[in-house]
Amino acid sequence: MSYFKVFGGKRLCGEIEPSGSKNASLPIIFASLATCGISELKNVPDIGDVRVAIKIIESFGAKVKRAGNTLCIDTRNVFYTMPDKALTSSIRASSYLIGSCVARFGVFHLSEFGGCNFCNRPIDMHLFAAASLGAEISSCEISAIRLAGAKIYFDKPSVGATINALIMALSACGESEIFGAAKEPHVKALVDYLISAGADIEEIPFGYKIRKSELHGGTLEVLPDMIEAGTYMLLAPMTEGRITVRNAAKLELDSFFETITDAGIGISIHGEDVTVYGEPQRPFLVTTAPHPGYPTDLQPQTAPLMSKYFGGIINENVWQSRFSYLDSLGAFGVRYKTMSSRAEVYHSKLYPAETFAPDLRGGAAAVMCALTARGESTIKNAEIILRGYSDFESKLRRLGANVLYKE
Ligand code: EPZ
């Protein structure tokens, strides 16, 4: 089993550049299946989830070439197939096959979608979008001879359902509108890619207006990963260091910046770069919410900081519950109490430990604890962290961390 060995207690200082966004790259890779042409995507991170996504679209006949961080995807000769269950059940983003297969082939056989299962992750809103556009849905199949434009009302924002609704609506006759859509930067990146591929999509208040479009190949430079950027920013106070994250100033992290500066952490922005320094002066209050709120994907990485300093309160408003990772942090001495969607994290003495990465972000949080606890820690199941953090070991080392990754 893969593991990270961490010799903690070192101050992390220096500059880091986040890789391309995982959560923007994945929907774009799957959406390329709904286009007929050659797409060029720049700044695509070479991480586990992206490698699986590429294997899945290759099984549909897509030809994919990687040169450095650029992916060239040729979807001119794709065909419908039942994708390998072992692949689809290993990443959540495989659920974007619903949109691209229904749009391109008029059919999709439902399979198990994987990913970080920190709580139940339903797909009822994805199916609701397909049904609203006229698709027939059975327990194992979605089929559509002809989709028809419709108004789709979501009662809460869902990144995945919005993405699938957008892709399917482009193949639906006439005009569609999505209301209550997610507006995360990675959803906007998908929209930009689709527009470059010939899509007629207009942003409207609370959603999007979409007209049926013939899609050819598109081009996009994927934005830097806002969650990776935020994770490195939190490492500065966690290790009493000073870290500059390049190209992070425009990443729409305002509510994250507000929360950490409210706790007393220093942030200075110079051009495109963000430098984080200093220590919290008071307890943290984190309240996650759909964009532009505090990102739920940065919630687990905030808990180590709370425990090292003055404690804090987390209100999780995106997922029903996202606190199972706290068990793994408990091995380092993190003390906490959870009450459904709320967690209290108490000031705790952190010591080295051997534990498991429970999921991607929880695993990053465990590494944060290990980096601050003086002595040797081991985090097993470490490959799950590399599914979302590109070059994690080498980037941490560049900042001065003493870490070793073994497969
Ligand atoms: C995306 O997941 C991200 N994954 C998640 O990041 C992120 O936590 C989440 O959006 C919220 O920002 C990817 O982009 C690959 P949702 P997604 O649909 O699309 C409920 C990470 O660490 N819901 O926006 O699956 C759901 O239960 C990952 O990188 C339904 O009720 O999330 C949740 O409460 C983890 N029915 C809320 O909506 C549905 O059909 C938001 O989920 C769909 C969702």
Give how far the C-alpha of residue 147 lies from the chain's centroid of Cα atoms, to the nearest Å.
29
CA angle 179, 182, 187 (to 5 degrees): 120
For residues 378 and 3, the answer to whether their CB atoms sit within 8 Å is yes
Q: What pLDDT is stored for residue 111 in this prediction? A: 80
Among 159, 318, 324, the mutation site with the greatest number of ligand 1 atoms within 8 A of its Cβ is 159
For the segment 293-330, what is each residue's pLDDT rounded down to a tens digit? Answer: 999 999 999 999 999 999 999 999 999 989 999 999 99
| CA-proximal residue: ligand 1, atom 33 (nearest) | 319
| CA-proximal residue: ligand 1, atom 43 (nearest) | 123
For residues 65 and 77, the answer to whether their CB atoms sit within 8 Å is no
Q: How confident is the model at residue 112 (pLDDT cuts 50, 70, 90)?
A: confident
Question: From CA 291, how far away is CA 294, in angstroms rounded?
Answer: 7
Kindly tell me if the per-residue pLDDT of 208 is higher than 80. yes
- Please tell me if the CB atom of residue 125 comes closer than 6 angstroms to any atom of ligand 1: yes
Kindly tell me if the per-residue pLDDT of 127 is higher than 80. yes
Q: Do domains 3-19+224-406 and 22-221 have the same CATH topology?
A: yes
For the segment 45-57, what is each residue's pLDDT rounded down to a tens digit? Answer: 999 999 999 999 9
State mean pLDDT over 172-180: 98
Question: Residue ranges of the domains in the chain?
Answer: 3-19+224-406, 22-221
Q: Which atom of ligand 1 is nearest to the CA of 160?
A: 19
Among residues of the chain, what percentage have pLDDT more than 90?
A: 95
Tell me which CATH code domain 3-19+224-406 carries.
Answer: 3.65.10.10
Kindly tell me if the per-residue pLDDT of 267 is higher than 90. yes
What's the chain's average pLDDT?
96
DSSP string over 34-54: GS-SEEEEES----HHHHHHH
For residues 186 and 21, the answer to whether their CB atoms sit within 8 Å is yes
- Please tell me if the CB atom of residue 161 comes closer than 6 angstroms to any atom of ligand 1: yes
CATH T-level assignment (fold) for domain 22-221: UDP-n-acetylglucosamine1-carboxyvinyl-transferase; Chain (3.65.10)
CA angle 313, 250, 308 (to 5 degrees): 30
Kindly tell me if the per-residue pLDDT of 117 is higher than 90. no
Is 72 a known active-site residue? no
